[in-house]
Chain A
Amino acid sequence: MAVHVDVEAVRQVAKLAKLSVADGELPDLARDLERVLALVAVLDEIDVTDVAPLVHPHEQGLMTRPDVPQPGLSQAEALANAPAQLDGCFLTPRVIG
């Protein structure tokens, strides 16, 4: 089944993923994505009328843990890799709420 991906769709996906893509790269990416989607679209040929939906390949359900506090990281450890910090907080460029 043919899937059409236009340049606008690539631009939108890039924006959502916070990737900067030069305008010149868009047509090639659109073509590549079209081919990837066409590959996956092979699955559409399978008849799944009587097959229950599968959300996860594991047979085993979710494991849980008891509600007991565990030691974590200190403030200094938590912030150790932060490019910028202020007053014990991670500091990022100002974002408008």
Chain B
Amino acid sequence: MSAFEAIIGLEVHAQLLTRTKIFCGCAVAVGGPPNARTCPVCLGLPGALPVLNAEVVRLAVRAGLGTQCAIQRMSVFARKNYFYPDLPKGYQITQAELPICLDGQLTLDDGKVARIQRIHLEEDAGKSSHGDAGTRVDLNRAGTPLIEIVGHPDLRTADEAVAYLRELRGILMTLGVCDGNMEEGSLRCDANVSVRPVGQTALGTRVEIKNMNSFRSVREAIVYEVDRQVGVIADGERVRQETRLWSMDLARTESMRSKEEAADYRYFPDPDLPPLQLDDAWLDAQSVDLPELPAARKIRYQQEFSLETRTSNWLAEEPPRADAFDRAIADSPALAAAFAAFLMTQVQAQLQRHERPWPELAAAMADLLRICGKWRAGQLSNQMLAELLQLAFADTARGLADALAHAEAQAGAVVRDDGVLEPVVDAVLAKFPSEVAKYRAGQKQLSGFFVGQVMRQLAGKADAKAISALLTRKLDA
């Protein structure tokens, strides 16, 4: 059944990093008691009128500039009409025919270009929770500013979809447009998925998948859905146009509503809001202070620090991590490549075992760099380093920076003094006379065995290079 190809397009909602809602001065925040951040505008009370937040426009334009969109000098807010308890006005204010940004693109790590159709501004709805007593509605979130980034169906695999989402997220975070938190829903992704026989140009019936709140769920949901659709066609049936919800627990998509009774939203320009007009001088000013975007950062890491592609991509795709890295290595650029690899392997492994909040890790970057430097200089053996990290990351009684300093003191100094090493080396050579003979007969690879034996005698706390040098002197003498 491999004669099918998938056609995938993503619709991404990003919550803008503003202090207040899009059309009123209510604060935007997470948590707190329900319905405590509302006013007549976001409650949809009669006579209340929306006034656009200027910061929302600035952030949407930054998102457009970061994705190479054409910023529109005029865009228009429209009403999308539907009834739902968490939508107090009976319509959502969004942008329909004339959005603020058009025709952008993203370049994925493998060089593939994925086009962006449009970016438009809109308000979020409130939150509903359904229980036996009825549906409870909290309108704290109502009116939270969002941009929706609508991609063309240019993606062909779940991996490409994830790469697109990562690239987009990195750009939005770097520009300060969105915090990129998928678990908390400040970045939400829907996928339109269809399949068609390879070689066919007409598109198959598309299914919209919702409720994917991590990169992993995006990948798994798309893989599942493509298999499901190919299976439906293989059974001689037709794929139904519908919306399906991804369930991480059940590891499958489930039908939510059929598009046969397709919603008719009756969009029309919102009479409360005249067209949004941007002038050239203001727009020009927006493009001058754009920071280095992830794609450029990856290339800089490769060129300036000779980082491997895998390492540079990993580092740059999480902008706060890359920022902390940049600050840490500013004074010791020679360590950059080793430090990046150290973060991606040893530190990452510890993070998978012990959860440490990001701010703690960011605050400990200088300590991690110092420890990495000592390890590279042979002042910590591999085993000492592993033990030190394990001890520090498990030490939740202390902040990570303190825990690292404490574990570092515990680790002590590596043994590299010939006066200490020599008796141990002599004892090992005396214990394995036949190996010594073989080595001298030409089996030089046995030197690793001798280093290991000496290291074991010293509980792993010796400098392998010093042992090796001493062994060479004795054996090759």
Chain A positions near chain B (C-beta within 8 angstroms): 12, 16, 18, 55-56, 58, 60-70, 72-75, 78-79, 84, 86-97
Cα A96 to Cα B19 with chains together (Å): 33
Name the residue of chain A whose CB is nearest to the CB of B42: A72
Cα A90 to Cα B43 with chains together (Å): 11
Name the residue of chain B whose CB is nearest to the CB of A81: B45
Known A75-B36, A88-B35; judge A67-B136 contact (CB<8 A).
no
Of the candidates B27, B38, B134, the one whose C-beta lies within 8 Å of that of A94 is B134
Tally B residues with Cβ within 8 Å of A: 51
Known A16-B81, A61-B277, A67-B55; judge A93-B135 contact (CB<8 A).
yes
* B40, A64: Cβ atoms closer than 8 Å: no
CB proximity of B146 to chain A, nearest CB, Å: 15
B269 within 8 A of A: yes
- What total of A-B pairs shows CB separation below 8 Å? 130
CB proximity of A54 to chain B, nearest CB, Å: 10
* B275, A62: Cβ atoms closer than 8 Å: yes
Chain B positions near chain A (C-beta within 8 angstroms): 18-20, 24-27, 33-40, 43, 51-57, 76, 81, 83-85, 98, 128-139, 256, 264, 266, 269, 271, 273-277
CB neighbours (8 Å) of B271 from chain A are 56
Interface residues of B, dominant DSSP: loop
A-B contact pairs, 29 of them (CB 8 A): A16-B264, A55-B76, A55-B98, A56-B269, A61-B274, A62-B52, A62-B274, A62-B276, A64-B52, A64-B57, A65-B53, A67-B20, A70-B39, A72-B37, A78-B35, A78-B43, A86-B134, A89-B35, A89-B138, A90-B85, A90-B137, A91-B137, A92-B137, A93-B134, A94-B131, A94-B135, A95-B84, A95-B130, A97-B128
Known A63-B51, A89-B136; judge A69-B25 contact (CB<8 A).
yes
CB proximity of A13 to chain B, nearest CB, Å: 9
Cα A16 to Cα B262 with chains together (Å): 11
Cα A64 to Cα B77 with chains together (Å): 13
Name the residue of chain A whose CB is nearest to the CB of B271: A56
* B19, A87: Cβ atoms closer than 8 Å: no
Interface centre among A93, A94, A96 (most CB of B within 10 A): A94
Cα A69 to Cα B28 with chains together (Å): 9
Interface residues of A, dominant DSSP: loop
* B25, A65: Cβ atoms closer than 8 Å: yes
CB neighbours (8 Å) of A66 from chain B are 53-55
Known A61-B275, A96-B130; judge A68-B20 contact (CB<8 A).
yes
Known A72-B38, A72-B39; judge A94-B54 contact (CB<8 A).
no
CB proximity of A23 to chain B, nearest CB, Å: 20
Cα A83 to Cα B70 with chains together (Å): 47
* A97, B275: Cβ atoms closer than 8 Å: no
Of the candidates B19, B273, B277, the one whose C-beta lies within 8 Å of that of A68 is B19
Name the residue of chain A whose CB is nearest to the CB of B19: A67
* A69, B35: Cβ atoms closer than 8 Å: no
